[in-house]
Amino acid sequence: MKKKLLPLAIVAAMAPGFAAAADVSGFADIIYNIADDASLYGPDGIKGNGDDVTVSSTEGQFTTSGEVDISGTPMDGVTVRMDVDLMPDAGTGNSASLEQANAAWTATEGVTVIGGIMNNPIGMECGDAPCMWGTNAGVISNLLDGQTSLYGNNLAGVAVAGVVGPATVTLAYANDMGGVAEENSVVLMVNASPMDGLDLELGYGSQADQTKNAASVEDVVDFNVSYAIPGVEGLSVALDYLTAGKTVDSAYEIMVNYTTGPFGVGARMENVGYEAAGAEDSKRTTVHGSYKVASNLTAILEVASGDDVNPNTAVTGIQADNVTTLELVATF
* Average pLDDT per 10 consecutive residues for the chain, totaling 332 residues: 46 46 90 80 52 62 93 82 86 79 90 94 92 92 87 93 94 92 94 96 91 75 97 96 91 97 98 86 95 98 81 66 93 96
Give the helix ranges, DSSP H, for the chain.
6-14, 139-147, 313-316
CA angle 291, 122, 166 (to 5 degrees): 95
Residue 311: asked if its preceding bond is cis (omega within 30°), the reply is yes
Q: Enter the pTM of the model.
A: 0.85
Which value, to the nearest 10 degrees, does the dihedral of the CA atoms of residues 264, 87, 4, 21 take? 100
CATH architecture, domain defined by 6-331: Beta Barrel (2.40)
CA angle 172, 85, 20 (to 5 degrees): 65
Closest CA to 310 of 139, 157, 161, 178: 139
What is the pLDDT at residue 210? 74
The phi, psi pair for 8, rounded to 5°, reads: -65, -35
- At 229-287, the pLDDT tens digits run 999 999 999 999 999 988 889 999 999 999 999 999 999 999 999 888 888 888 999 99
What is the pLDDT at residue 107? 86
All structural domains of the chain with their residue ranges? 6-331
What is the pLDDT at residue 17? 47
Strand partners, 159: 114, 172
Do residues 272 and 251 touch, judged by C-beta distance below 8 A? yes
- At 17-51, the pLDDT tens digits run 444 457 999 999 999 999 887 655 555 555 555 55
Q: How far apart, in whole angstroms, are the C-alpha atoms of residue 26 and residue 66?
A: 7
DSSP 31-89: EEEEEEGGGEE-TTS-TTSS--EE-S--TT-EEEEEEEEEEEEEETTEEEEEEEEE---
Largest alpha-carbon pair distance within the chain? 69
Name the 3-class secondary structure at 14.
helix
